[in-house]
Amino acid sequence: MFRRGLLPSFASASFFTSIVMAADGPSSSASRAESSTQQQLPVRSASSNSTATNEVTTQVDNGSSFDIVRTYRELLNSDRELTMGVAAIESLIELLRVTPSSTAMELVEIVKKEKAKLLASTPNPLPLLAGADLFEQYLLRSLRGPTAAPGSGSGQDRVLSFDETRQHLVDNKDLFAQRAKAARDHIALWGSRYVSDGCVVLAMGGSRTVTKILLRAAADPSKHFRVIYVVDGRNPRSDVAVAQLREAGLEVETISPLKVAYVLGNQKRINLVLVGTEVVMQNGGIISGMGTAQLAHLAKTVKGGMRRFYVAAETHKICRRTPIAYPMVNRVGVRQKDISKFDNIGVDPDPDTIVLPEDEEVDYTDPELIDGFITEQGVKMTSQIWEMVDDYI
């Protein structure tokens, strides 16, 4: 299923195609691997969420309706390594399993309805939208031209029906899980090449992918580097990341966000700034934890040396949306408190309104401030994100 030296991308609808082919046996799967130029979308194995799956199955058998919001939350809470986009995809895969539909179009309509319900349940639907869009696009493409799989004995390809394709997706969750875990490892391989001996890396946000990059670089005996980590006390993932890096033997200094400009101006060996992200917009900008945009601006404007600002992100985080007006994340669907017009001064928030809590708020970082994206496909320029959307999504 893998091309030589390259992990398949999450951003391709053909990921589902390769899972379907894999179900026909290792020999047919291997014969297709070299010709496949696109990649796969991860979903965890059934064994890792058997409790949630069994509950849903029982409810459906008893005639109750499938609750995609609850399924999504159970999946996300059961595995801290799971991203929101992958949890959304996995919820839709579970929907396929429990939904009896007479036609493909009927199933697509059900998926659209459940997708909308899932997006409406969270104040920041963009990470879920990125994953759900990939899944929905696969269903639509399967109607226009179903997946091809090897025929039995004839040497000719047989066209799978929609029902066969759906069943193969449900039956082969283990293959999805393998690719989900391998993605960050391949990002770490690419990213570790940008960590040079004797340098200082500035990181922020508690990204699991960034942590993997630094741990991979630390495992190289030819490199000795240090890390300055920006922590604000509100993000527990940052504390976890710092603990993991120190446990690996890295010298890690922590600073508050108030010291970023001071440190950038005085620490001349900082030549790399690494962050993760929740969403990659199709114009090459990112929507990530509050303070990311500030860090990017300071990295480019504070005098003290040349610094590269790189974002580590799996390609399934690419979202088919572009901010209309910088820096209003509210205009692309994020529901968080907006103080730009002083509308909320002295007004108690509506308890029925779903908004992001302050410690989870996000901001938008312009692509002009980003030097590149470290993905499982390799390092991409911001201008290439739009091309990836056109090619894969």
170 is in which domain, residue-wise?
A: 14-182
Q: Is residue 102 part of a domain?
A: yes
Q: Is residue 2 part of a domain?
A: no
Domain end, chosen from 159, 182, 205, is at 182
Give the confidence band of 106 by pLDDT, cuts at 50, 70, 90. confident
Name the one residue in this structure whose structure tokens are 């990836």: 388
In this structure, what CATH number is given to the domain that contains residue 344?
A: 3.40.50.10470
356 & 306 share domain: yes
Least confident of 88-92, 144-148, 318-322, 327-331: 144-148
Q: Are strands 362-365 and 286-289 parallel, antiparallel or unpaired?
A: antiparallel
Cα distances from 262 to residues 273, 303, 392, in angstroms, run 15, 10, 42
Q: Write down the pLDDT at residue 66.
A: 86
- Give dist(CA 320, CA 103) in Å, integer: 28
90 & 176 share domain: yes
174 & 245 share domain: no
Name the one residue in this structure whose structure tokens are 């103080």: 339
164 & 226 share domain: no
252 & 223 share domain: yes
Q: pTM of the predicted model, to two decimals?
A: 0.80
Q: Write down the pLDDT at residue 369.
A: 95
161 & 18 share domain: yes
The residue with greater pLDDT, 58 or 181, is 181
Q: Write down the pLDDT at residue 98.
A: 87
249 & 354 share domain: yes
116 & 168 share domain: yes
Q: Write down the pLDDT at residue 145.
A: 58
Q: Is residue 8 part of a domain?
A: no
The residue with greater pLDDT, 312 or 357, is 312
Alpha helices, DSSP H, located in 99-125: 104-120
Give SS3 for 268.
Answer: coil
> How many other CB atoms are there within 10 angstroms of residue 18's CB atom?
23
What beta strand segments (E) does the chain contain? 148-150, 157-159, 200-204, 226-230, 251-255, 270-275, 279-281, 286-289, 308-312, 318-319, 362-365, 372-375, 378-380
Q: Is residue 188 part of a domain?
A: no
202 & 159 share domain: no
Q: Is residue 5 part of a domain?
A: no
Q: Write down the pLDDT at residue 126.
A: 95
135 & 217 share domain: no
Answer yes or no: is pLDDT of 21 > 70: no
Domain end, chosen from 158, 182, 206, is at 182
Q: Is residue 32 part of a domain?
A: yes
234 & 157 share domain: no
Structure tokens at 181: 């875990």
Q: How many domains does the chain have?
A: 2
Looking at residues 345-368, what average pLDDT do you find? 81
Domain end, chosen from 182, 205, 233, is at 182
326 & 288 share domain: yes
Q: Is residue 355 part of a domain?
A: yes
Q: Is residue 125 part of a domain?
A: yes
Least confident of 80-89, 220-229, 293-302: 80-89
Give SS3 for 143.
Answer: helix
pLDDT in tens, 122-177: 999 999 999 899 888 877 776 665 444 444 444 445 556 677 777 777 776 556 65
Average pLDDT, the chain: 79
Answer yes or no: is pLDDT of 356 > 60: yes
Looking at residues 286-300, what average pLDDT do you find? 95
Looking at residues 337-356, what average pLDDT do you find? 72
